[in-house]
Homo-oligomer: A and B are copies of this chain.
């Protein structure tokens, strides 16, 4: 039956192969399980950062690891593999020694990149407003205590 497990990050056996969406539909818009799984992958914390990093050209594994501060090797491997699976990232192995593996955005990945950039822009330009909203909220909370 080959039942494919839930979402990202296979706990054991670092292989990808999700596919069976864990959740049903958001009826309000006809967006179904597949859409959700696509959104889950593309809006994932690390995916966004990786796509962002790859926005300006190809990078090798270790470059990405250094660029995306805080990501673990495991998560980098996993997220890249998932992005590759979804056709967003292209993986190129050059069998030199030491081996060299380059990652770059596909055309599809580039179109996603523009979106994540827009998100990033939005976050940047609305940061003050959001931060003050947070401050207000927290202050009200503390007052109520």
A interface list, Cβ under 8 A from B: 15-17, 19, 23-29, 31, 34-36, 38-40, 42-45, 48-49, 52-53, 56, 67-70, 84-88, 108, 111-112, 115, 118-120, 122-124, 126-127, 129-134, 136-138, 141
Contact = CB atoms under 8 A, between A and B. Distances in A.
Name A's interface SS. helix
Contacts of A24: 69-70
A5 to B, nearest CB: 13
A123 B53 CA distance: 21
Contacts of A28: 52-53, 56, 67-68
Contacts of A133: 85-87, 108
A68 B124 CA distance: 29
A26 B16 CA distance: 25
Contacts of A49: 26
A116 to B, nearest CB: 9
